[in-house]
Amino acid sequence: MAEQRPHTLTRADGSTVEDPWFWLRDRDDPAMLAYLEAENAYTAAQLAPLQPLRDRLFAEIKGRVLETDSSAPVLDGGWLYYRRTLEGAAYAIRCRRPAPYGATDPRHLDERLRRPVDPLDPPDDEVVLYDQNREAEGHDFFQLGGFAISPDHRLAAIATDTSGTEVFTVRVRDLETGEDLDDVIPRAAYGLAWANDARSFLYTVPDDAWRPHEVWRHRIGTPHDADELLYTEEDERFWLGVGRTRSHRFLAIAASSKVTSEWYLLDADDPTARPRLVAEREHGIEYDLDHRGDLLYLVTNVDEAEDFKLCVAPVATPGREHWIDLIGHRPGIRLEAADVFADQLVLSERTDARTQLRICDPATGEGEVLAMDEDVYAAAIGANPGFETRTLRFAYSSLTTPTQEVDLDLETGERTLLKQQPVRGGYDRDRFVSWREWATAPDGTSVPISLVRRADVPLDGTAPALLYGYGSYEISIDPVFSSARLSLLERGVVFAIAHVRGGGELGRRWYLDGKFHAKPNTFSDFAACADHLVEQRITARDRLAIRGGSAGGLLIGAVLNLRPDLCAAAVAEVPFVDVVTTMSDPSIPLTVIEYDEWGNPGELEFLEVMRSYSPYDNVAAVDHPALLVVGGLNDPRVQYWEPAKWVAKLRTTSTGGGPLLLHTELGAGHGGRSGRYDAWQDEARVLAFLLAHIGAAEVEPTGPQVPGVGVSGDPSPADPPGAGGPPPASSATA
């Protein structure tokens, strides 16, 4: 049990609340770290009976991955860029090889150059640009925040983070010699953009609240303290980003809040250029942009275009009074992005809870949707750096189809499958079926659910199930393939995604109906989806688990307060659970920015609704399902103390039920540990916990044998000690 220390918080309405675990936010208090370590030790002890199952799950996850692999190459500036991975290496290796002289379009390349290289026999002309494994030596955590190659392809600006705080150090590497230059930027946020001179680039700097608030220009060969400040964002609701138009004509600075945007352009040919405003910010008006010829292409919600439309404006006079509709507002078709090329325009759209790509004429806006084979799928634009190309790279996936990288010839319509995600162990998609269901929310709204199961699993209420949800920021959880998920499916578990309001699956209105005062819809939608699975005999209450992370962890916490009997087990990863206290403290990273997502509890109307659903403020004396909570000590997005305080309060309040476990990663941030083997171990822990509490821990997986996993769970000679074996008899109740 965590120590309780008296602490009183005063809310905006004058009310007070006792928070005896408030002290856990003090990083300098040795008792804080001791508490987290004690919770970690307790969790490890409680999960110890599941170690054989966890070992086997890890072996399965690893065994399905082709560890030594390479990506489909991307043609850019006379080079073919790709990544390789090696068995036993935690990170990717970035490489390139020269393309034939004058090659500007992938369709003109020899077929063998378009395909991934043989990772066991790399080509003689391969150049290793960056071996992240070597760079990560000596670090428990290592993350790339940017890898921007200069326009002449001689240098790379590389942003790295070795703690999980997502504050980066930027270094510049000479790609011809492999040596780092003396140029070092000690503190940067996301975003790097080179000018065309290849001797200067833009970067952003965060303030103390982790908000990128400044844009600077660095010139190669000059000290960091000589860098030039180009823009400062004074409004604490806005953050900054930098980029380049695909045409290479402009560098861009974006100032964005959750509901408003403003852009500035700089002449990419002028290394001394100053930012030039495109269109002044206006509350509630958003726009994104790209460039072609003498026009800017703007995806915007101006003129009450709730699902957005596409406008064009002259580069010379880009103010809003000069915007002209190219593709008008189409209610029910959410325009998410427009990728502009010299001779093509590709729209990323979403309608009826599905993604779609529309290929258009950039002059007229007329075009057609790219047909796909399945009903429940996800498609997205891939890497397409060439402005003049007539080839479109896109990615396709579904709950049963491993991710594909495809090149589309825009002149002939021919599709070339470059690479499909390898799944070792003889994966057969025909053994699985995916489909869509619709649940009915309490207010009568139909809520989509994407599902997948092994085809022979009966829908008679006996199957275990896992329901996943998120439901914030207009982020859509698309139905994509996961090889790790096969360890659930092969044990007869049904996997489902609840596309609840607050996400973007059904357009901007779907998002708006799940934020601010409507936020409770997110939670009631999720509960309705869970009830639907039970009512339709897809699963049973005592065989259902739920899972969510970050804002999805808020979803899990709120739902457990509303409906503690909803399920048998739950996993909440880096959960945002102390909503009112966090949003009342502007010193915490991102708080002010988040006012446009959740509201400001300093305003009483928002305080009331936040107080009604904040998981930490609504813990009740009830039985709870088995609960595993995961946090990160260096997490800048959801502070570690939120899950820690929540678990401490649950421990003193809960009247019983399943085990309550907290694990805090002490050397990582929001995304967990950085190496792929560590990430697989962590996923195996979660899956073992879930299987144990939905009656599937002792179920033998069906299907072909996974490499590295012996028959009937016995470790094969290729396994490390303990990587297999049947779960102990006690694991179902551990």
Q: Report the residue count for the chain.
A: 734
CATH superfamily, region 139-285: Prolyl oligopeptidase, N-terminal domain (2.130.10.120)
Of 670, 674, 719, 731, the active-site residue reads 670
Residue 710 has a pLDDT of 57
Active site residue 483: no
Closest to 107 (Cα-Cα) out of 338, 509, 386 = 386
pLDDT tens readout for residues 202-227: 999 999 999 999 999 999 999 999 99
What span, in angstroms and rounded, lies between the C-alpha atoms of 695 and 693? Answer: 6
Q: Are 616 and 649 in contact (CB under 8 A)?
A: yes
Helices (H), 314-469: none
Looking at residue 704, what is its pLDDT?
84
Residues facing 200 on adjacent strands: 219
- Please enumerate in sequence order all residues whose Cβ is within 8 A of that of 460, keeping only pairs 6 or more positions apart, or say none: 537
Q: What is the CATH topology of the domain spanning 30-63+429-694?
A: Rossmann fold (3.40.50)
Share of the chain above pLDDT 70, in %: 97
d(CA 15, CA 533): 40
The Cα angle at residue 557 between residues 541 and 41, in degrees rounded to 5: 95
Closest residue by Cα to residue 338 from 360, 370, 353, 319? 360
Exposure b/e, 454-485, CB count within 10 A at least 16 = b = beebeeeeebbbbbbbbbbbbbbbbbbbbbbb
Active site residue 635: yes
Angle at 17 between CA 11 and CA 23, to 5 degrees: 105
Whether residue 517 lies in the annotated active site: no
Q: What whole-number distance in Å separates Cα of residue 172 and Cα of residue 157?
A: 5
**In which element (H, E) is residue 129 found?**
strand 127-131
Would you say the pTM of this structure is higher than 0.85?
Answer: yes
Residues in Cβ contact with 446 at an 8 Å cutoff, skipping those fewer than 6 apart? 438, 439, 440
Closest CA to 709 of 87, 63, 88: 63
Element (H, E) at 411: none
All CATH 2.130.10.120 domain ranges of the chain, comma separated, are 139-285
User: What does the block give as tokens for 645?
Assistant: 């305080």
DSSP code of residue 557: H
Residues 6+ apart with CB under 8 A from 328: 305, 309
Contacts of 583 (CB under 8 A, 6+ apart): 591, 594, 595, 598, 599, 600, 601, 610
Q: What is the 3-state secondary structure (H, E, C) of 610-649?
A: HHHHCHHHHCCCCEECEEEEEEECCCCCCCCHHHHHHHHH
- Measured torsion, CA atoms of residues 50, 24, 671, 62, in degrees rounded to the nearest 10: -20
- List the one residue out of 453, 455, 457, 451 whose CA is nearest residue 477: 451
Residue with tokens 């150059």: 113
Residues 112 and 99: beta-carbon distance below 8 Å: no
Compute how many other C-beta atoms are within 10 angstroms of the C-beta atom of residue 113.
17
What is the per-residue pLDDT across 476-520, written as a single tens digit (0 to 9) for each?
999 999 999 999 999 999 999 999 999 999 999 999 999 999 999
Q: What would the two tokens of residue 280 be?
A: 């002044």
Decide: 204 and 215 in contact? Cβ < 8 Å.
yes
Residues of the chain with CATH 3.40.50.1820: 30-63+429-694
Catalytic residue among 550, 614, 674, 731: 550
Residues whose CB falls within 8 Å of the CB of residue 641, separated by 6 or more in sequence, listed in order? 21, 24, 25, 32, 578
- Token look-up 């406008």 returns 311
Q: Taking the mean position of all CA atoms in its chain, how far away is CA 194?
A: 25
Instruction: Report the distance separating Cα 26 and Cα 325, nearest Å.
Output: 53
State phi, psi for 134 to the nearest 5 degrees: -65, -40
Residue 6 is predicted with a pLDDT of 98
Which has the closest alpha carbon to 442: 522, 322, 345? 522
Task: Of 444, 391, 613, give the one whose Cα is nearest residue 522.
Answer: 613
Rounded-to-integer distance, Cα 7 and Cα 55, Å: 43
Q: Is the backbone of residue 77 left (phi > 0), alpha (psi -120 to 50) or beta?
A: left
Burial class (CB in 10 A: 0-12, 13-18, 19+), 18: exposed
Residue 10 and residue 16 in contact, taking contact as beta carbons nearer than 8 Å: yes
Burial 646-681 (b: 16+ CB within 10 A, else e): bbbbbeeebeebbbbbbbbbbebbbbbbbbbebbbb
Which segments of the chain have a pLDDT < 50? 711-734
Which residues contact residue 164 at a Cβ distance below 8 angstroms, ignoring those fewer than 6 apart? 141, 143, 632, 633, 634, 635, 665, 667, 668, 669, 670, 671, 674
Catalytic-role residue among 635, 663, 674, 682: 635
Q: 541-571 burial, b for 16+ CB within 10 Å, e for fewer?
A: eebbbbbbbbbbbbbbbbbbbbbbebbbbbb
